[in-house]
Chains A and B, each alone.
Chain A
């Protein structure tokens, strides 16, 4: 017995502790996401105002500089949230991503574009040109698309009953409404938090800027109350009393902040009070989210874990077989031609290359008896690289030229392939030979071509007949094919011909072979 069962159910540490860590990491990450997204919105708005002449020019620059710090922290912090989500919510997380995988991967491009374009805007020298405006707006659009995709994935993960519908593009309107409300709520929060960060801490000495940030916070909070009503209405499930209580805390804190900033008393709001209010807004907001999520996701996780345990138990009897195959295949040396033959050729052509491999009976077109093959190395290489159309013989381009050299050499030295056919043992009379020549021209040439290099018709057969100028067979085998036909191909039996004529046909066939080519 070995230590591995299903690695998916081997949690590396106590899961409730991991959940606590996830919440902590997520709060930090989300805070910087709000700063990042909100600062981008503010900066681009200022840039547009500056260009219209209604604001100070380049007023966006100090915000964009801060944007770059916020975004670096938002991205790096976010990785931890992803790691913990993969661990804790394995099934809902990966399933939701597989529902919208293109969007999830698009996040990489969206972030690169957003950060790159806004960096370009920040680095501008001299007056703000049209191209800067375009870059700023496009950068902001990419930036806003990022929380839109995240909201879609998380909203999907939290609603297992709609998974199948989302997968087959039949998502109910309710999910779309919930997702939109959620996205808007994140945007509103971004504006409030980014403006509050400037208002309370980073721009305390700039009175004009503070006045502007105050308006953004007030506007943002009012927007949040409206968006919040929409979000509540769109919730797929009614929150329980405990969740509703936590949520009310946040709403109350937001109302206090609005009250403090709306009138003339705003100047008295200090950083400490402001920060406490913001914490009382952010934590209930994220706790509400967490409780709503847990109500659905915890039972799914429990079910998934018990299923995984059951599945591991089901697989347990097969573990040793799987591992035995792994051990047996370790370190096989495919630079050795013998290994290539044993693994790639033997199951059809057989251990003694007589075409009687283990799988030969499965095949309609029988594998060739290699010991009877008479061809030059170049022809063998062509067959190995192209396969034989209309048969099971695949192409072996997985081997390099050097590996194929070794294999071809092995076929000559150990498996009885020869470069030229030996003459038939039976003596052929001139009359039989003449009859055979006539027969070849009248009948065989229909497919094989008068010169043995295949007629136009023959070339289109699947499998095509061999090019007799390049490939011959040992006399007895050629005789057998002429006598019995080649099963699975159009090559018929010529058993009705007298035996000496068939032997003469073998000679005619061999006469087409051009060993020099």
Chain B
């Protein structure tokens, strides 16, 4: 038993489902659980210690911001956090099983930390007003200790998937976990978490703009934070970029632009320059007390910060291709050593679930199954990243050659795993699929219609 039943999320494909959930989670777990709470805790501590002028609006602001933070973190943040497991369990079963075995302890410790975080956040929320001034100055420190540990624990694993150190040769856990991109990635994450938190804090000040003294003081405080963290974020992102091998960073443009826009790389540059300019604009306007300008820029800036997170995660997940676990597992969850093994034996004969599928062993059944095993991690039939668009116009012999060489031509794609005959079968299947000669009965399970063959 080395495989699980085939499945792909119909139309949108697996990566998009995992990604949509994960981006939402990262925005909240970084931007709100770390960033927004940091602003909140800082403002409250500054207030109780007399660094800020007491103002009843501060209490109203903090109360509202705290409620938003707690609801977002405990409802959306925790559910999408569990959702990362739900989506990867279902869509990348073999990968989540292998990664879990390898990184069980970081994840389990993170789990304990996660429970404590949630409990602590609820505790603050329920009893915030009843804490003494002294307590309010210090009580959030344990929470920050916990959220930062969460970030540290998970970043080691994410960094491994990009820069595995010498794990592929040595199998050393230490080398895998404390890998080259670990620290710069961690710094980048924490800093963009703060930037998002600062932007959110500024957005929450705006409803109080009738109170001019409070608004000016609050905008100045959060604007200053923004002005200080932005340059640090740029430095951290730069260090992160240089921690990733050059061969991978070549594909950053394509990761974001995809084949739809790959000829227009300026779009990405321009979009990011405009987005960063928006955030800088918010910082400048907040520092100078230009409330109306802040109000005009803050929502586009927040929207950009969300897109930044999406872009950040997309690039990380894309340029690690063709591997999911470098040196061990390809992005389609087949193992590196399975490629030569299947080449000299057979993919389908070694597939537990293919042997138990209800259809026959026709070229189409076999071809669809080979597609499901090899290609469906990224490509759909008729949906996003449609394989029909990729193979359109090719001859069957051309497909055969291209499939055998695809990992050389397109280095972020894994090789096709299968023997000579299976290469012919998938070429025939894809050619006939593109010619409209074969239709799918079940996209999700890769079952072709069998009548009329």
B contacts with A: majority SS: helix
Closest CB-CB distance, A162 to chain B, in whole Å?
12
Q: Is the CB of B265 within 8 A of A99?
A: no
A 88-123 binary contact with B (CB < 8 Å = 1; else 0): 001101110111011011011001100110010000
Cβ proximity bits B317-338 to A, threshold 8 Å, 1 near / 0 not: 0000001011110000001111
Contacts A343-B408, A364-B397; A105 near B245 (Cβ below 8 A):
no
Whole-angstrom distance between the alpha carbons of A322 and B336 in the complex? 5
Contacts of A316 in B (CB 8 A): 337
A485 to chain B, nearest CB (A): 17
Check if A69 sits within 8 Å of B89, measured CB to CB: no
Which residues B425-453 have CB closer than 8 A to chain A?
Answer: 444-445
Q: Does B270 sit within 8 A of A, measured CB to CB?
A: no
Tell me if A202 is interfacial: C-beta within 8 Å of chain B. Answer: no
Chain B interface size, as a band, is 35 or more
A8-B97, A72-B118, A97-B93 known; A362-B337 Cβ under 8 A: no
B53-61, B78-86, B134-142 - the one binding chain A = B78-86
Of all chain A residues, the one with the shortest Cβ separation from B409 is: A344
Choose one: A91, A104, A347; the contact of B405 (CB below 8 Å). Answer: A347
Select one of B83, B108, B326 contacting A326, CB under 8 A.
B326
- Which of the 9-residue segments B1-9, B37-45, B235-243, B279-287 touches chain A? B1-9
Contact (Cβ within 8 A) A82 B250 = no
- Contact residue range for chain A? 35 or more
CA distance A311 to B1 in the complex (A): 8
**Docked CA distance A349–B253 (Å):** 27
Q: Which of B9, B353, B393 has the most CB of A within 10 A?
A: B393
Q: What is the CB-to-nearest-CB distance from A16 to chain B, in angstroms, rounded to a whole number?
A: 15
* A318-B111 Cα distance, complex, nearest whole Å: 36
Min CB distance A117 to B, Å, is 11
Question: B90 to A87, Cβ gap below 8 A?
Answer: no
Contact B358 A329 (CB under 8 A): no
Q: Does B124 contact A (CB under 8 A)?
A: no
Counting CB contacts under 8 A, is A365 at the interface? yes
B101 within 8 A of A: yes
Asked if A348 is at the interface (CB within 8 A of a chain B CB), the reply is yes
A91 lies within 8 A of B1 (CB) = yes
Chain B residues with CB under 8 A of A398: 254, 259, 262, 409-410
A115 to B74, CA, bound (A): 9
Residues of A within 8 A of B444 (CB): 101-102
- Residue in A79, A335, A365 whose Cβ sees the most chain B Cβ within 10 Å: A79
Contact present for A344 and B408 (CB under 8 Å): yes
B120 to chain A, nearest CB (A): 11
Pair B108/A83 contact, Cβ less than 8 Å = yes
In the complex, B71 has a CB within 8 A of chain A? yes
Contact with B along A71-93 (1 / 0, CB 8 A): 01101111110110011001101
> A8, B401: Cβ atoms under 8 Å?
no
A322 to B408, CA, bound (A): 15
Residues in A neighbouring B411, C-beta threshold 8 A: 329, 332, 334, 343
* A7/B259 in contact, CB under 8 A: no
Residues of B within 8 A of A115 (CB): 75, 79
- Shortest distance from the beta carbon of B329 to any chain A beta carbon, whole Å: 8
Query: Which residue in A75, A77, A365, A397 is a CB contact (below 8 Å) of B263?
Result: A397
Verify if A304 is at the interface (C-beta below 8 Å from B).
yes
* Residues of A close to B323: CB separation below 8 A: 326
Q: How far is the CA of A102 from the CA of B5 in the complex (A)?
A: 13
Among B6, B80, B246, B339, the residue within 8 A (CB) of A331 is B246
Question: Which among B168-176, B219-227, B375-383 touches the partner chain?
Answer: B168-176
Say whether B160 faces chain A, with CB atoms less than 8 Å apart.
no
| Cβ-defined contact, B250 with A7, below 8 A | no
Question: With an 8 A cutoff between CB atoms, is A425 at the interface?
Answer: no
Given the known A-B contacts A11-B101, A108-B21, are A80 and B111 also in contact in the complex, defined by CB atoms under 8 Å?
Answer: yes
Whether B363 sits at the interface, judged by CB under 8 Å, is no
When C-beta atoms are compared, the residue in chain B nearest to A394 turns out to be B402
Residue A399 at the B interface, CB < 8 A?
A: yes
Does B87 reach chain A (CB closer than 8 Å)?
A: yes
- Whether the Cβ atoms of A330 and B245 lie closer than 8 Å is yes
Complex Cα–Cα for A115 and B171 (A): 42
A6, B98: Cα distance in complex, Å: 8
Considering only residues 4-24 of chain A, those with a C-beta below 8 Å from chain B are: 4, 6-8, 10-13
Contact segment of A214-222, A382-390, A496-504: A382-390
Interface residue? A258 (CB, 8 A):
no
Q: Given contacts A94-B89, A359-B401, is CB(A108)–CB(B336) below 8 Å?
A: no
Nearest residue in B to A78 (C-beta to C-beta)? B82
Report A-chain residues with C-beta under 8 Å of the C-beta of B1: 91, 303-304, 307-308
**A residues in contact with B277, CB < 8 Å:** none
Chain A 139-173 interface mask (CB, 8 Å, partner B; 1/0): 00000000000000000000000001001100000
Bitwise, A352-387 to B at CB < 8 A (1) or not (0) is: 000000010011110000000000000000000101
Provide the bound-state CA to CA distance between A118 and B337, in Å. 50
Q: A3-B170, A87-B100, A112-B76 are in contact. Are A387 and B394 (CB under 8 A)?
A: yes
Minimum distance in angstroms from B155 CB to a CB of chain A: 18
Least CB distance, B125 to chain A, in whole angstroms = 10
Which chain B residues lie closer than 8 Å to A97 at the CB level? 89-90, 93
Known: A12-B105, A94-B93, A97-B89. A315 touches B398 (CB 8 A): no
Given the complex, which residues of A lie within 8 Å of B257, measured CB to CB? 400
Whole-angstrom distance from the CB of A14 to the nearest CB of chain B? 12
From the candidates B2, B168, B265, name the one contacting A311 in the complex (CB within 8 A). B2
Q: How far is the CB of A278 from chain B (nearest CB, A)?
A: 22
- Please encode chain B, from 29 to 70, with 1 for each CB lying within 8 Å of some chain A CB and 0 for all others: 000000000000000000000000000000000000000000
Partner of A315, one of B259, B341, B399: B341
A319 within 8 A of B: yes
- Which residues of chain B have C-beta atoms less than 8 A from A54's C-beta? none
Determine if A83 and B265 form an interchain contact, defined as CB atoms under 8 angstroms apart: no
In the complex, what residues of A have CB within 8 A of residue B131's CB?
Answer: none
- Given the known interface contacts A108-B86, A344-B409, A387-B394, the answer about A98 and B265 at a Cβ–Cβ threshold of 8 Å is no
Contact, CB under 8 Å: A318 / B263: no
5 contacts between A and B (CB under 8 A): A79-B82, A82-B85, A112-B75, A318-B340, A347-B405
Contacts A98-B93, A331-B245 supplied; 8 other A-B pairs, CB < 8 Å: A6-B335, A12-B102, A83-B85, A83-B100, A112-B79, A168-B358, A330-B247, A347-B408
Closest 4 CB pairs of A and B: A3-B171, A392-B398, A322-B336, A389-B393
